DNA sequence: ATAATATTTTGATAACAATCGAAGTAAAAT
DNA sequence: ATTTTACTTCGATTGTTATCAAAATATTAT
């Protein structure tokens, strides 16, 4: 179901009068004037709302003698709500993609000519930066502190802060002055 | 669930931005600024919508460092939509009561001093009138046409039309000039 | 303590929606 | 053919909502 359709459906159900209409029609098909009496609204108002419900596919109208008879499409209502509950994460790929775009945007803003302009305070951004820096280290290999400093200094003068943060964030680990990539 | 709660829930889901928020949060908790970037809305707008979602019980907020982190309450969403689908006709008594009120209103309008002012053209109203008249006949008893006319004439001069309509509507039956109440 | 950052609140604006009454349309009864 | 009846469309009104920018608050960093 498309997003606009979903919104249409919920819009229909988010109005007191239309909800009353749905309830009244759950009991059986009814024509406009009767609904008008039951809900204490003018026929024009009822007509207005029935049109909306019809657009959302919740009721269908047909003529019978004089009357414009409205019938509730119960199966469609159930089906649509149900599909919403049971919908798998169709959107997750899109989501991941946008997350990736966001990371790249952050990196573009913070790096210039391969140098880190400032160390971001915002944790999420800092994390992204640190993960970027971590790419310079090979998994499984050990590094002396001097090596680590040298690599990090490529990005920013304050290699001490960055080195500390790499540990704090759990991206790297240290023991007896030896560093390695974690994970 | 009360009607106002239902409407609150649907109102929340009937806005594009809030629907996007729900989708984004389905992937995992997120904080305001990140959502702001993902949905391309200002933080204040995001904050505004998150508050509404929280009021409807769809998300819960908590503080984490700077951040106001929003978490989707999936079980509540599912549960509420599900209860709507599976709701039995709790409203049916109310409905029946209002239908009764409507009948009485119609009868009050059409009868005066026990006489029927006019025979309504509107089928539903005519039906109501005919059922009222039918109360004068005892179930199981047979009536000659003259008896029938006499009883009906109490209500209106045009007993022919009314008698014919009683048959046409299936309220009474006739065979060989003998009438009786059906049903 | 001061500055930086994240969030919320407020005020303004513009778009939208519900309602009614009146005018218009269509179908059926007379 | 005319009238009655049911319904729809239109115009106006009123209330609601989404949005942003700016100001106010709160939390963390320096």
pLDDT greater than 90 at residue B9: yes
Tokens of B9: 């829930």
Residues A14 and A47 reside in one and the same domain: yes
Asked if residue A172 and residue A101 are part of one domain, the reply reads: yes
Of the ranges A165-179, B38-52, B85-99, which one carries the lowest mean pLDDT score? Answer: B85-99
Judge whether residue B126 contacts strand D, using its CB and a 7 Å cut-off: no
Is B159 a residue whose pLDDT tops 60?
yes
Mark whether A102 and A176 lie in a shared domain.
yes
pLDDT confidence bin for B27, thresholds 50/70/90: confident
Q: Among A86, A107, A124, give the residue marking a domain's end.
A: A86
Neighbours of A171 (CB within 10 A): 17
Residue after which a domain boundary falls, among B39, B63, B86: B86
Query: What is the sign of the dihedral through the CA atoms of A13, B3, A79 and B20?
Result: positive
Shared domain check, A123 and A68: no
Indicate whether A118 and A158 sit together in one domain.
yes
Quote the number of domains for chain B. 2
Mark whether B108 and B176 lie in a shared domain.
yes
Distance A52 CA to C16 C1' (A): 15
- Check residue A35 and give its pLDDT: 95
Return the pLDDT at A156. 85
Q: Are A180 and A172 in contact (CB under 8 A)?
A: yes
Whether residues B61 and B97 fall in one domain: no
Ranking A34-48, A72-86, B27-41 by mean pLDDT, the lowest is A72-86
Kindly tell me the number of DSSP H helices and DSSP E strands found in chain A: 9, 8
CA distance A109 to A59: 52
- B117 and B65 fall within a common domain: no
Rounded CA separation B150/A66 (Å): 32
Residue B19 banded pLDDT, cuts 50, 70, 90: very high
Query: Could you give the C-alpha distances from A151 to A138, A163, A176, in angstroms and in order?
Result: 12, 10, 19
* Residue A50's pLDDT band (cuts 50, 70, 90): very high
What Å value separates CA A83 and C1' C20?
Answer: 38
Same domain, A73 and A96: no
Residue A109 sits in the same domain as residue A175: yes
Examine the pLDDT at A53 and tell me if it is beyond 80: yes
State whether B77 and B137 are in the same domain: no
Which CATH number belongs to the domain containing residue B25 in this structure? 1.10.10.10
Instruction: Measure B178 CA to nearest chain A CA, in Å.
Output: 31
Do A79 and A40 belong to one domain? yes
Domain that holds residue A58: 3-86
Token pair recorded at residue B160: 């022919």
Rounded CA–C1' distance between A68 and C27, in angstroms: 11
pLDDT band at B143 (very low <50, low <70, confident <90, very high): very high
| Structural domain ending residue among the three candidates A57, A86, A115 | A86
Nearest to B78 among A85, A102, A124 (CB): A85
| Residue of chain B whose alpha carbon sits nearest to that of A86 | B78
CA-to-CA distance for A92 and A163, rounded, in angstroms? 34
Instruction: Say which residues have a Cβ less than 8 Å from residue A174's Cβ, sequence separation at least 6.
Output: A167
Query: What residues contact residue A37 under an 8 Å CB cut-off, 6+ apart?
Result: B102, B105
């Amino acid at each position: 179901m498309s997003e606009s359709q979903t919104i249409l459906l919920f819009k229909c159900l988010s109005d007191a009068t239309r909800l009353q209409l749905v309830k009244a029609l759950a009991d059986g098909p009814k024509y406009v004037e009767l609904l008008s009496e039951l809900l204490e609204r003018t026929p024009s108002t009822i007509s207005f709302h029935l049109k909306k419900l019809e657009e959302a596919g919740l009721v269908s109208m047909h003529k019978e003698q004089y009357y414009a008879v409205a019938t509730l499409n119960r199966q469609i209502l159930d089906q649509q709500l149900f599909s919403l509950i049971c919908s798998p994460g169709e959107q997750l790929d899109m989501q991941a993609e946008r997350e990736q775009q966001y990371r790249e945007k952050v990196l573009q803003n913070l790096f210039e000519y391969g140098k880190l302009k400032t160390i971001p305070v915002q944790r999420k951004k800092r994390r992204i930066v640190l993960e970027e820096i971590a790419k310079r280290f090979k998994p499984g290999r050990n590094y002396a502190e001097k090596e680590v400093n040298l690599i990090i200094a490529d990005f920013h003068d304050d290699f001490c802060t960055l080195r500390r943060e790499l540990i704090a964030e759990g991206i790297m680990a240290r023991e007896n002055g030896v560093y390695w990539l974690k994970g």
